[in-house]
Chain A
Amino acid sequence: MINVDHLTKRYGPVTAVDGLSFEVGPGRVTGFLGPNGAGKTTTLRMLLGLAAPTSGTATINGVRYRDLPNPLRTVGAALENDCFHPGRSAAEHLRIMSTAAGISRSRATRVLDIVGLAEAGHRRVGTYSLGMRQRLTLATALLGDPGVLILDEPLNGLDPDGIRWMRDLLHQLADEGRTVLVSSHLLAETAQTVQDVVVISHGRLAAEGPVTELIQARHTDNLEDLFFDLTSDRANNRALEVHSS
């Protein structure tokens, strides 16, 4: 369970995240949507202890990330697809991560196999394509066999086969009872992947809930229409009025 409660982040005069609250439960794939600059990545960074909130809390299973006893075994996170030393191989990268987390080396081999990088595992990451880096990012997230997965733009750089593979994998992980939060701006792909959404705009919550229910409630046809309905300037002005009152 992911719980974000009145989370705020200010950078000087700029408020990137503004009193954001939402919950993400297990057993479902939840999309975390918002326009560029809406505060998605900042929220995920605060959730993962990489950025300090100005106020509010972000917890995983009721605990702040930095207080988790062995975080990689609880949370698998994939924030960027270029967090690798180009001179190391994928296998070396995963061995370093497994050493840091006290995870067996055989698990590193296993996750390389899961993401389809078993044959390329001994190549230097500097030679990898964007799609291969995306797979390695996911392998890193899966290393600790965690119950919670937080993935930032996991579909970027994947070809159509890769997108289908990722979608099936995310569904499988959710079916296993894991909490899966996926940030994305690829609405058409996200629509086929997620069951729930959390939509934010200008750092504030625009809507959260099952996609089908939100579409019905807002009288829209699909996730794309719902997204634009929630994040348009008109919607933001309405939200601002509610917020200030």
Chain B
Amino acid sequence: MTTIVRLTHAELRKLVASRTYLIGLALSVGLAVISVAVNAATAGHNGHAALGTAASTDKMLKLGVLCAVGMLVLGILGSGSEYKYKTIIPAMLAGPRRGTLVAAKVIGIAVAGAIFSVLTFGSGLAVTVAELSAHHFHQLPADTGTLFWGSVVTGTLFGVIGVALGYITRSTIAAVVGAVGWVLFFELAILHTLVPHMAKWLVTGAASTLTDPGVLASKALTPAAAVAVLSTYAVVLLAVASGLVLRRDVA
């Protein structure tokens, strides 16, 4: 087995052994199921679109945000907690070539992110299909497939972005505060307000294209372009993180 395969196996084992991933996954799946059930229950009431309409089903399938937020936090915890608990020391003793170590972490979280997103969106989709079938609706909107893989890609890339933020800040709290501050203050409050035509090029804009049926339908970006935008953010942040991990001493 090559070093990168061994280290990636170790990263996946860490995710399972610390239980945070499993609890996060259970929480995300639970929230997806509850969200769909609540949307189904309120459909046709108080101005909400009637059950079985494309608008109602699209609303039920806006599950990508759960994948994105969940994996962003898990990615941050995956790398930031290595410094919090000093497990970065045994990790670097086992894998002293730091570039390989970072690559293994990224591959591990990407695999975990894909599984997390498939299960989160998949369980929400299953409940959606069950709700619709129970009311004799047997057709899903045409963009369901795009939303499914869009949510999986978004969850996976947000996990990678989280890993990069954790390595850059070496602190789970600083990384979470930084990510929330960036999204809520810098992107949503400032950039979306001041330069709305640029919003599609932001992290939240590209993620919305992949996970929000309304934004997807507006064709602001094609799904492929949105994946490219999100991937670029992930790669740039990872490049910064890798540079810092390679150069910094471990205290």
A99 and B96 contact, CB distance less than 8 A: no
Q: Does B27 contact A (CB under 8 A)?
A: no
Q: Does B7 contact A (CB under 8 A)?
A: yes
Taken together as a complex, chains A and B put the C-alpha atoms of A71 and B95 apart, in Å, by: 8
Which A residues are CB-close (under 8 A) to B138?
Answer: none
Contact residue among A65, A86, A95, A97 (Cβ-Cβ distance under 8 Å from B96)? A65
A121: shortest Cβ distance to chain B, in Å? 13
A229: shortest Cβ distance to chain B, in Å? 32
Q: Name which residue of chain A comes closest to B93, CB basis.
A: A77
For chain A, which range describes its interface: under 10, 10 to 19, 20 to 34, or 35 or more residues?
20 to 34
Contact residue among A68, A95, A102 (Cβ-Cβ distance under 8 Å from B6)? A102
Q: Name which residue of chain A comes closest to B92, CB basis.
A: A50
Interface mask (A212-238 → B, CB under 8 Å = 1, otherwise 0): 000000000000000000000000000
Q: Name which residue of chain B comes closest to A70, CB basis.
A: B3
Taken together as a complex, chains A and B put the C-alpha atoms of A80 and B251 apart, in Å, by: 11
B9: shortest Cβ distance to chain A, in Å? 5
Q: Name which residue of chain B comes closest to A143, CB basis.
A: B94
B41: shortest Cβ distance to chain A, in Å? 37
A116: shortest Cβ distance to chain B, in Å? 20
Which B residues are CB-close (under 8 A) to A66?
Answer: 96-97
B15: shortest Cβ distance to chain A, in Å? 10
Q: Does B142 contact A (CB under 8 A)?
A: no
A45 and B249 contact, CB distance less than 8 A: yes
Which B residues are CB-close (under 8 A) to A240?
Answer: none
Which A residues are CB-close (under 8 A) to B13?
Answer: 92, 95-96, 99
Taken together as a complex, chains A and B put the C-alpha atoms of A82 and B96 apart, in Å, by: 19
* Residue in B7, B19, B89, B93 with the greatest tally of chain A CB atoms within 10 Å: B93
Q: Does B48 contact A (CB under 8 A)?
A: no
Query: Which of B79-87, B170-178, B187-195, B221-229 has 4 or more CB atoms under 8 Å from chain A?
Result: B79-87
Q: Does B134 contact A (CB under 8 A)?
A: no
Q: Name which residue of chain A comes closest to B98, CB basis.
A: A66
A219: shortest Cβ distance to chain B, in Å? 40
Which positions 15-73 of chain B face chain A at CB distance < 8 Å?
Answer: 17-20
Contact residue among B20, B87, B96, B249 (Cβ-Cβ distance under 8 Å from A71)? B96
Q: What is the number of residues of chain B that contact chain A, defined by CB distance less than 8 Å?
A: 27
Which B residues are CB-close (under 8 A) to A100?
Answer: 6-7, 9-10, 91, 94-95
Q: Does A83 contact B (CB under 8 A)?
A: yes
Q: Does A169 contact B (CB under 8 A)?
A: no
Contact residue among B7, B81, B94, B96 (Cβ-Cβ distance under 8 Å from A85)? B81
Q: Name which residue of chain A comes closest to B17, CB basis.
A: A92
Which B residues are CB-close (under 8 A) to A96?
Answer: 10, 13-14, 17
Which A residues are CB-close (under 8 A) to B95?
Answer: 100
Which positions 31-80 of chain A face chain B at CB distance < 8 Å?
Answer: 45, 48-52, 65-66, 68, 71-72, 75, 77, 79-80
Which A residues are CB-close (under 8 A) to B89?
Answer: 50, 79-80, 83
B99: shortest Cβ distance to chain A, in Å? 11
A61: shortest Cβ distance to chain B, in Å? 15
Taken together as a complex, chains A and B put the C-alpha atoms of A99 and B247 apart, in Å, by: 26
A50 and B87 contact, CB distance less than 8 A: no
Q: A85-B81, A99-B10 are in contact. Are A48 and B17 (CB under 8 A)?
A: no
Taken together as a complex, chains A and B put the C-alpha atoms of A219 and B5 apart, in Å, by: 56
Taken together as a complex, chains A and B put the C-alpha atoms of A221 and B86 apart, in Å, by: 40
Contact residue among B86, B91, B92 (Cβ-Cβ distance under 8 Å from A80)? B86
Which A residues are CB-close (under 8 A) to B94?
Answer: 71-72, 97, 100-101
* Residue in B1, B18, B90 with the greatest tally of chain A CB atoms within 10 Å: B90
Q: Name which residue of chain A comes closest to B84, CB basis.
A: A85
List residues of B whose CB falls within 8 A of some A CB: 1, 6-7, 9-10, 13-14, 17-20, 81, 85-87, 89-97, 247, 249-250
19 contacts between A and B (CB under 8 A): A51-B250, A66-B96, A83-B89, A85-B14, A85-B17, A87-B20, A92-B17, A95-B13, A96-B10, A97-B10, A97-B90, A97-B94, A99-B9, A99-B10, A100-B6, A100-B7, A100-B9, A100-B91, A100-B95
19 further A-B pairs in the complex, CB-CB below 8 A; given A85-B81, A85-B87, A86-B85: A45-B250, A48-B96, A51-B250, A71-B93, A72-B93, A79-B89, A80-B86, A83-B87, A83-B89, A83-B90, A87-B18, A88-B14, A88-B18, A92-B13, A92-B17, A93-B17, A96-B14, A100-B9, A102-B6
List residues of A whose CB falls within 8 A of some B CB: 45, 48-52, 65-66, 68, 71-72, 75, 77, 79-80, 82-89, 92-93, 95-97, 99-102, 140
